[in-house]
């Protein structure tokens, strides 16, 4: 029974990791930690991932367009550089977010269950595809052996199992995290880790609300405002 639980958790977290990689998120770390005495539904695994596109602010798209358009003005030919990669990622994010927004607008009384049923199809197709199944099996098997993997290591396993061509939006393994226990390599790496820590702190604070006194709740509200401001600054 315990072995089946371990396998289920490994597949669960591997599915998170595979989907994050497929859709262009940056995977920091993925792992499983099993406690046979844990209550049903208690978290026993983790997959930390962040978007390389900070938000769906349209002005960020204008910001990215400015460089290539300036090239057009000065030399009549824009260069194919990182600006286009950023705009492509933003475009995909805009498109998918817009579909979800339109659903909520057209169905103001829809339940989350209805939302889930409507938008689960792409993920099901990914997980049940031939390459998806192969990648999911490879990563979950390694998780059962190693328990914890850095984002870079997990993605290298996915890349090998998936084969070429790789998914269009997927970042290469060297663009993913080396694990939250290792030192950050770049400023973006540090910012990504800080965002994960702050987001986890925000969620943990909210879970305490029903157990605190009125004065403690007031203090927590001030802390949450500071955390929100920090999250916005990290996402800029």
pLDDT in tens, 107-156: 999 998 999 999 999 999 999 999 999 999 999 999 999 988 999 999 99
Buried b / exposed e along 19-39 (16+ C-beta atoms within 10 A): bbbbbbbbbbbbbbeeeeeee
Looking at residue 141, its pLDDT comes to 96
- What is the overall mean pLDDT for the chain? 78
- The pLDDT of residue 124: 95
Q: What is the mean pLDDT of residues 187-212?
A: 68
Closest to 89 measured CA to CA, from 158, 155, 171, 154: 171
The residue with greater pLDDT, 22 or 205, is: 22
Whether the bond between 165 and the residue before it is cis, its omega within 30 degrees of 0, is yes
Q: Is the pLDDT of residue 65 over 80?
A: no
What residue has token string 């705009």? 87
């Amino acid at each position: 029974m315990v072995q089946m639980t371990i396998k289920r958790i490994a597949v669960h977290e591997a599915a998170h990791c595979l989907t994050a990689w497929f859709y262009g998120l940056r995977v920091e770390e993925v792992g499983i930690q099993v406690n046979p005495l844990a209550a049903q539904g208690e978290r026993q695994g983790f997959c930390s991932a962040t978007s390389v596109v900070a938000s769906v602010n349209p002005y960020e798209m204008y910001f990215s367009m400015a460089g290539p358009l300036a090239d057009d003005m000065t030399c009549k030919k824009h260069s194919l550089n990182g600006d286009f990669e950023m705009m492509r990622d933003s475009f995909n994010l805009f498109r998918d977010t817009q579909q979800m927004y339109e659903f909520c607008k057209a169905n103001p009384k829809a339940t989350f269950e209805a939302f889930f049923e409507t938008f689960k199809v792409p993920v099901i197709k990914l997980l049940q595809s031939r390459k998806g199944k192969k990648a999911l099996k490879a990563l979950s098997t390694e998780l059962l052996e190693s328990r914890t993997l850095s984002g870079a290591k997990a993605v290298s396993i996915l890349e090998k199992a998936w084969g070429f061509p790789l998914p269009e939006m997927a970042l290469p393994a060297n663009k993913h995290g080396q694990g939250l226990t290792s030192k950050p390599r770049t400023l973006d790496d540090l910012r990504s880790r800080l965002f994960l820590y702050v987001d986890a702190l925000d969620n943990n604070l909210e879970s305490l609300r029903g157990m605190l006194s009125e004065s403690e709740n007031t203090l927590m509200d001030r802390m949450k405002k500071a955390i929100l401001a920090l999250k916005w600054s990290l996402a800029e």
